[in-house]
Structure 1
Amino acid sequence: MSDVFYILSEGRVRVTRREEASQPEEELMELGPSMYFGEKALLHNAPRHATVTALTAVKVLSISKEAFEEVLGPLQEIIDDHRLWREQVAHQKLLLQEAEGLASVTIGDFAIECVSCITEPVQYVLASRNGKEYTLKCASKQCVSEMTMARRLLLEKELTASLLTHHRMVPLSLATLHDDSFIYTVLKTSIAIDLASLILENECFDEPSAMFYTASIALALEHLHTNGIVCRNVTSDAIVLDDKGYVQLIDLRYAAKAEPPPNDFCGYAHYLSPEQVSGVGHGPAVDFWALGILAFEMISGGGNPWLTGISSKDSELGVFSRISAHQVGELPFPSGVEVSDGLSDLLNELLHPDASQRLGGRGRGPAEVQE
C-alpha cells in the first residue's frame, strides 16, 4: 500500500496489470500530461495492482495522503467519475478487439497484401486476417525518431483509443502492435488512394465532386469535434479514400484535445489559419480553415491561395504574411478557374480570418458546411 498520489506533469507512461505471476502483463492504458495514477491506494487504502512504466522522459508530481485529504471531499467524486471513464474506455477497446478476434494478435498473424500509399514517416498497408480486411498504419521507428515525432504519435494513439463508436469517415483503431522496425496501428478500413494523388490524376475536380468530398470531411470533423478532438491535419496528403471512394480520416498525428485550447505550432505552413500563425490559442475552427484550403485545392488542381510558385516569395515568412493579410471576400482564384457563386461564398466563409465568424466556428459546427 502507499500514501502517495501521482500527477504526470511531462511525458507519457504505460499502465499494465498482471492477474497472476505466470500470465503476461495486460496493457490497460497510456497516460499523458495532466493525467494521474495511484488514486485507488489513496482513496481506499488498497494495495496497488498495476505497474506504471515510463515511455518517455517524465516529470511526476506527488501528493502525500495528508495533503490530499485536506481537499478529499470535493475531489473524491471527480476522481471516481474520471477513473470510471478511463476504465470503461479500456474495457470497450478490449471488447472491440475481442469482437474482431484481435485481443492477442501479433503482426505475424496478418497476411500482407500490398502497400497502398506512403506519407512519411507513415505508410499504409492492406492486410487481412481470417477473411477480414484491414489497413495497417506503419510508422518507421527510425523515421519517427529522426523526425522527433514520438511524442505526437503517442498522443495520437491515446486520442484514437478514446474513439469507441464507429463512424463511416473515421475508422476505428483496433490495436497497436510493433516489431523491431515499425509501430503498427490496425484500422478497420481498406484504403485505396490519398486525396493528393487523386487530385493529381484528375488535374482538378468538378464542383459536385469537390462539394461531396468537402461535405464528407466535414462529417469526419464533426465526429472528432464531438469527441473533443481538433484534427489540425486536414490536408490532401493526410486524407485518404477507401475502396468504395469514401473519405477516411486516419492521420491524426497533429491532433490535440480541444480543451484547454492548444497553442503549439504544427502542420504545413500553407494550411495554417491566422490564429495559428499569430500563435494564440486555437480550437476546432482551424479545421474549417484548412477544409477551405483543401476545397480550393480540389477545384484548382492542387493550387493554394498563399503560394505564388516563386520560391523566393514562398518562404514560410512570405506565406504567413499573406495569410495574416487576408481579408474576407479577397480570395485569389487562379486564372481560368471558374466557380459558382455558391462555392465562392462557401470558400470565403470557410476562410474567414476571424475564427468566431468562420463557417463551422459560429456555434453550429460542421452542420453549416454540410448545408
Structure 2
Amino acid sequence: MGNKSSSQPPMKWPQMPWTDRLLLSLVTRLRDVTCHHNGTVNRRLFPFLDHCTAANPNPVEGVCTSDITIDSSCNLYVRVFMPSDPSIQGRPIPVIVYFHGGGFSFFSSSSPPYDALCRRISREICAVVVSVDYRLAPEHKYPAAYDDGINVLRFLDSDRLGSIETVTDLQLDFGNCFLAGDSAGGNIVHHVARRWAASTRDWKKVQLAGAILLQPFFGGEERTESDIRLDGAPIISMERADWAWKSFLPEGANRNHEAAHVFDSIKAGIEEAFPPALVVVGGFDPLHDWQLRYYEALKEKGKEVRLVEYPDAIHAFYLFPKHNDNTKLMEEMKGFVQANRSI
C-alpha cells in the first residue's frame, strides 16, 4: 500500500470553520457506520443519517424544485431546480443534468448537501438543473448508474418532455445541455458523455455543450503519489476508495476495469463529439493525481478541456458552504457554461 515514512512530518490540513468541520464529520460518519467489510451497506440507518429534503414548488433562495419520475420500474427520478427570477421568462436557459457524488453508494438528489448545491448552481448560473437520483451500489452495480444517466437524457429528448416543461414554465434550451457531477458523479458524467457522443445521430433535441467534472472519481490498481501522501484525508482514503470500487464494479473485476481506469480507453480513441470539459481538482484530494491524469489524457487526444485547481481544497469542498473556494468555483462553472453555449 506504499506506507508513508515515519520521518515524514504530519500533514497540515487546511483550516475550516467549525460548521464545515461538523458537516465533514457527519458526511464521513455516514459512510463509515453504514459500510460493511463484505461490500454491503446498511440502508436502514439512512433515514437517521441522511434526512431527505422535500421538493418545494415555492421559491427557496430564489429556486423552486419538483420531483419527476423517469422510470417507475426502477424508481428512477430527477429533482428539477428552477430559478424563479422573472427576468428569465421568455428566453431560453441552459439545462444542467447533475449527478451527485457518494462513491456510487450514498446520497440522493434529495440529500440536504446536494439539494443545497444544485439550488445554488441553478440560482447563480441561471440554469435549470436536473439532478439524477440514479440507482446505488452495491444493490445496483456497474453499469446501472450509467444506464440511468443515459435514460434521463433519453427522457429529456423524448415526447415525454412535457412533464418537465410544465413544472418549469420556462423555455428550456436542450440544444445547450451540460452534464455535471462530483466525485462518483463526475465519473458518471464521463461515461454518459461518451455514450451520448457515440450516438449523436440518434438525438432529436439534446445536444451536449459541455461536461463539468468536479473532483471526478477515477482509479486503478496503481497507488499514486497523492493516494499515499493524502491517505489520512477526510471523506476519501485508499480504504474507502477501494470499498467503493468493490461495491460498484462487477464481481471479480479489479480497479483496472474500464469504469474506473478510463485512461486506456481514452488513449485507444475517444469520440469526436465528446463535449468540451471542465475538470476541477483539489490540492488536498487523494484522487488529485487520477484527476490530473484524466485531464492530460483528454488533452493528449486533442479534446477541449480546461483544468481548474484549488490548492487548499479537500475532496467535496463544494458541499461546505463557507469554503473559500466555493464562490470561485461557481464563477468558473458559470463562465464555462456561458463560453460553451451556442446562441
Q: Structure 2 length normalisation: TM-score?
A: 0.28
Looking at CA atoms only, which structure, 1 or 2, has the larger radius of gyration? 1
Higher relative contact order (CA 8 A, sep 6+): 2
